[in-house]
Amino acid sequence: MSTASPASGSTPDSVRHLQDIADRIVAQAKPGEQIEAYVSRARETDIRIYEGEIEHFVSAQSEGVGVRIIRNGRTGTSYAGTLDVSALEEVLAEARENAELGSVDEWAGLAEPDGVPVVPQQLWNEQLEHFPTEEKIAIAKRLEKIALAADKRVRVEDVSYSDVFAEEAFATTTGVRSGGRENGCYASVGTLADDGDETQTGFGFSVGKWPGEFDLDKAGREAAERATRLLGAVKPPSKRTTVVLDPYVTAQFLSIIGSTLNGESAIKGRSLFKDRLNETVASSMVTLIDDPTDSRAYTATDLDGEGLAARRNVLIEQGQLKKFVHSSYSARRAGTKSTGNATRGGLGGSPGVGCLALQLVPGTASQQQLVADIDDGVLIQMVQGLHSGVNSISGDFSTGASGLLIRNGATAEPVREFTIASTLQRMLQDIVAIGGDIDWLPMRASGVSLVIRDVTMSGA
């Protein structure tokens, strides 16, 4: 969210309006109460094209408020999906009632301004605001054509254009007052490739602050490639091997690693790496940074989920664990300061803790150069079922995968319907090379080619 703290000056009227609502709620605090108000509003467009025609056109507007009250160490929260005045009063009353029911927690409390300056970011794009609807439709239609033209075996399952315009404001009795707005757009295509009785699937996407930043040719080409490259894929034999993770897969792996560096989990004894600060937890080539102030990151932002400035944090440096990420609550419990990593999963509930924009410090080699150093291995291009096969508390890692075998330094035949497995602890230690091909993907982590040895491949 682009910010003004406190909201004033160049802040658009619509954000100021949200800030006023937040301020009014907080002003109703009774003696001994801490109140946080979070107010948001969003507009979204979603256009789906199928076979050259509009399949659906969704025009959505939403708004809502979330209130957190802390009194005598007890926390209560409430929310409503409306900004009606009558609803606001009900939300405040409900939060107050709920705060009677929680346990007393000596560390309970809201964020307080910490003096860390907000790094200004360009999160709002006027060109997107004025971009004509007809051209949004045309973009989706063009992307469908590009994917179809890339390979005659390819069909398009669906193609979408979507954009979102979001505004938010925070206020707390502890003095946080911040807010801002952000917009962005996304085009994506899902493909099917047929060869005889066999069908494989692929996808491609492009993101931007406005459609002028799209690379539709790349999105369409990748969607066709992802589907066709798996045609004829077989189930490989089971064995221990070396894997090269494609940047898209690495980004998902880093997101899981990031979840183990959650400071609240560490305090509550749920992190693999609790009590391991300053110890070696990864190969010495690993430096992992969470940096939402890097404007190249898709999830770059200036405020965290409590309205504090987002900031750069080095989590693992040359293999050594340097830091867990914290919200103001987890930091208070751990006897440290918030790292600006409070996250908010919607209007309701207290903020959680999480990494915002992870990146691995890249090496220099291209993916092809990394593959050239491997006699026998697999290039993992897609994974399936990370949510069901990875336990970030025990560290067990097992995921469905597809990709290309690597033989004598070159990629060979496609393989699918197998799993790769290890543990998160081992995988971090077993990283043997990091590529230079950093890719700023639409996730909370960027990707880069990553080589990990001694992984079990289970297939036939």
Residue 294 contacts another protein per CB under 8 A: no
CB closer to another protein out of 75 and 429: 75
Selected range binding another protein among 24-32, 150-158, 216-224, 254-262, rule: CB under 8 A: 150-158
Using the CB atoms, write b or e for 53-69: b if 16+ within 10 Å: eeeeeeeeeebbbbbbb
192 Cβ contact partners less than 8 Å away, ≥ 6 residues apart: 154, 155, 156, 157, 199, 200, 201, 202, 227
Binding mask 113-132 for another protein (x = CB under 8 A): --------------------
Residue 155 contacts another protein per CB under 8 A: yes
Residue 388 contacts another protein per CB under 8 A: yes
Residue 255 contacts another protein per CB under 8 A: no
Beta carbon of residue 32, minimum distance to another protein (angstroms, whole number): 18
Q: Within 175-234, which residues bind another protein (CB under 8 A)? A: 192, 199-201
CB closer to another protein out of 255 and 391: 391
Binding mask 421-440 for another protein (x = CB under 8 A): xxx-----------------
∠72-28-116 over CA atoms, to 5°? 75
Residue 345 contacts another protein per CB under 8 A: no
CA distance from start to end of the chain: 49
Contacting another protein (CB under 8 A), which of 238, 336, 366, 368? Answer: 238
Residue 59 contacts another protein per CB under 8 A: yes
Residue 419 contacts another protein per CB under 8 A: yes
Selected range binding another protein among 13-21, 250-258, 286-294, 420-428, rule: CB under 8 A: 420-428
Beta carbon of residue 460, minimum distance to another protein (angstroms, whole number): 6
Beta carbon of residue 52, minimum distance to another protein (angstroms, whole number): 10
Beta carbon of residue 168, minimum distance to another protein (angstroms, whole number): 17
Beta carbon of residue 421, minimum distance to another protein (angstroms, whole number): 5
Determine the size of the site formed for another protein (CB under 8 A).
Answer: 75
Strands 410-423 and 396-407: antiparallel
Q: Within 11-40, which residues bind another protein (CB under 8 A)? A: none
Selected range binding another protein among 7-15, 145-153, 413-421, 433-441, rule: CB under 8 A: 413-421
C-alpha–C-alpha distance, residues 258 and 371, integer Å? 26
Selected range binding another protein among 86-94, 121-129, 300-308, 357-365, rule: CB under 8 A: 86-94
Contacting another protein (CB under 8 A), which of 112, 158, 373, 439? Answer: 158
CB closer to another protein out of 318 and 388: 388
